[in-house]
Amino acid sequence: MDAEYAREVGIDLPDSVDDLDEVQVNAWVTGNKLLRAVINPFTPYRIPYHAFPYERNPYNFFGIGVAENMDDSQQIMNGHARMAIDNLALSGSIVFDIDESALVGGQSMEIYPGKVFRRQAGMAGQSIYGLKFPNTANENMMMFDKFRQLADEQTGLPSYSHGQTGVQSMTRTASGMSMLLGAASLNIKTVVKNLDDFLLKPLGEAYFQWNMQFFEGDIDVKGDLEVKATGTNSLMQKEVRSQRLTMFLQTAQSPAIAPFVKISKLVSELAYSLDLDPDEILNDPEEAAIMAQIIGMQNAGQNTSEEAQPNSQQPEAMGGLGGTPQAPQELGVTGTGGGNIGIGNVPQSGEDQFSGTVAPPTRTG
């Protein structure tokens, strides 16, 4: 209020304040009665009221919300949905075209199953026609889906971030879905950062300034300090650090790099970045060596037991569980039937069962 009116209601102001100047006051009003009015007691002057906008608008105190961001797309979606329903009301039933000149007069035009229309004698041709309107609901719903996708882009809240699946082919894999949700969460983190910037930080500053000005006890910390709300910043830094540690851990598995990396320290930092207590879930180097030896002994025992038990699928001789019997190798079998009968080798001259003509011996001089 102006200083002149403030003096009229009983507020003491310094003489240096001109009557035409404005002063910031704290007033209690009920109906048309002023109960109490004092100069704003806070130093620096501030109104103890904080607003948290979804998206900041420098020209509007209330900011911009999700509904306002998608207002245009929402109206178009509503229009196409209404057009689809209106079209279905026409295309879902049949409209009749009746030539009354071909029918006997005085008949009811009511339609029901088994209805009989009486025609006049001598009138050729069809007198009742059924008209079906084109169905454009599919085209309207395609436009509806298109503007639903535009609404996702306008609001920064994709449909798959709140449960809808099958939007894109890459969502079939866990890593693809993780990448999409990570990209979708960037806008949400921006909104949470607004909570830090426009609510928690001003509230912390107000508490600090109040204690500096009005706290009557002894305060160890006094001074012109700045309050920072680092909730979202620290969260994003932790996520980025966790991703980088995971990538480095994969790189450190290379035999050429592994000797240069302190694996225990790396795993400890990775657990810390995931908000896990390294002292509770990780072994020290001595315990890790013992556990590695125990795991190695268990693996060796499993390999020994697997070697001791022959594979049941291997073929066994003479009708074993493996399948067809093996042919005796000492019989010189050449056939393919698995038995000991085959075409054999052709007997040579002088051998048993040779049926050819023996050539006379040649004489050399």
Write the pLDDT tens digit of every residue in 104-152. 988 888 889 999 988 888 778 888 898 889 999 999 999 999 999 899 8
Q: At what angle do helices 231-251 and 174-195 cross, to 10 degrees?
A: 150
In the predicted structure, residue 320 carries a pLDDT above the cut 50: no
Mean per-residue pLDDT, 47-52: 80
What band does 322 get if pLDDT is binned at 50, 70 and 90? Answer: very low
pLDDT digits (tens, 9 = 90+) for 235-289: 777 777 888 888 888 888 888 888 888 888 888 888 888 878 888 888 887 888 8
List phi, psi (to 5°) of 266.
Answer: -65, -45
What band does 338 get if pLDDT is binned at 50, 70 and 90? Answer: low
Q: Which two tokens stand for residue 268?
A: 């400890």
State the residue for tokens 């797309």.
73
The rounded distance, in Å, linking the Cα atoms of 365 and 148 is: 111
Name which residue leads in pLDDT, 185 or 325. Answer: 185
Mean per-residue pLDDT, 51-76: 89
The predicted structure's pLDDT at residue 34 = 86
Q: Which of 35-49, 79-93, 341-355 has the highest mean pLDDT?
A: 79-93
Mean per-residue pLDDT, 312-339: 49
Count Cβ atoms within 10 A of the Cβ of residue 264 and give its class: 0-12 exposed, 13-18 middle, 19 or more buried: middle
The predicted structure's pLDDT at residue 259 = 87
Mean per-residue pLDDT, 87-106: 89
| pLDDT > 70 fraction of the chain, expressed in percent and rounded | 78
Q: For 144-170, b where at least 16 C-beta lie within 10 A, e where not — what string? A: beebbeebbebbbbbebbeeeeeeeee
Mean per-residue pLDDT, 172-197: 74
The predicted structure's pLDDT at residue 139 = 94
Mean per-residue pLDDT, 340-360: 66
The predicted structure's pLDDT at residue 113 = 92
The predicted structure's pLDDT at residue 73 = 94
The predicted structure's pLDDT at residue 137 = 93
Mean per-residue pLDDT, 48-55: 82
What band does 323 get if pLDDT is binned at 50, 70 and 90? Answer: very low
The predicted structure's pLDDT at residue 317 = 47
State the residue for tokens 């298109």.
146
Name which residue leads in pLDDT, 347 or 38. Answer: 38
Beta bridge partners of 30: 33
In the predicted structure, residue 169 carries a pLDDT above the cut 50: yes
pLDDT digits (tens, 9 = 90+) for 16-40: 999 999 999 988 999 999 898 899 8
Is-above-0.85 flag for pTM?
no
CB 327 within 8 A of CB 333: yes
